Structure 1
């Protein structure tokens, strides 16, 4: 906020906190950092359509089901081999298209969660006193 005084001096910048609704700047940066930086789904679709025709036709040509490409684009981990076929079709590496799905060396990111028990069940609560 600028404010001039009565003596005709130049305006002085006053320090004023702005009240904001929503996330703070650091929260916005954290949200932005989580976004994948690969190709957008619509960009992939449009590039395939421009070069080769309909998605279903291309899916059949590369040996997938009619809705294979649509499923690959919308469901991470649907078909690793299909993702690699789409990447080859576009002339790119899978990591360039889906950096959230592949490591830089080309290996897929594991979608399986490693589950560790948070606590052990006491032996007296187990049937027959042994683990299942």
Structure 2
């Protein structure tokens, strides 16, 4: 018998929309390129999964159980930090304010 299934990406997009925004808007608010949130629906990206989960009032492991262990820790080898490009954009955005 298999365990819990990951939410389908269309379910995630619909849930985000039902909560009043879009993945693109969430990405912009968090300082990411809009396409990065869509990539996170297809491949593991813990930082973005956390943002989406918080918006939905859930834990990332509730939405993507295959990507996390029982304790809610991302499986090894997963992207943990934003890219250098994203980090630079965050820094520039902070300086501009």
The TM-score normalised by the length of structure 2 is 0.68
Residues 29-79 of structure 1, C-alpha deviations (whole Å, 9 max, x = no match): 7xxx3x851322111000111213232122111222111210110122xx3
CA contact (8 A) 1:52 1:58 kept: no
Give 1 or 2: higher helix fraction. Answer: 2
SS at match of 1:74: coil
C-alpha separation in 2, matches of 1:57 and 1:47:
14
Aligned structure 1 segments of 4 or more residues deviating by more than 4 angstroms: none
Asked whether 1:38 is paired with 2:14, we answer: no
Residue in 2 aligned with 1:98?
64
Unaligned runs of 5+ in 1: 1-28, 113-132
Backbone CA RMSD of aligned residues: 2.0
Residue 100 of structure 1 aligns to a residue whose secondary structure is helix
Structure number with greater Rg is 1
Q: Matched residue of 2:66: which SS?
A: coil
* Cross-structure match for 1:88: 54
Match of 1:23 in 2: none
Between the two proteins, the alignment pairs up a number of residues equal to 78
Report what 1:65 is aligned to: 33
TM-score by length of 1: 0.52
Structure 2 unaligned runs (5+)?
79-97
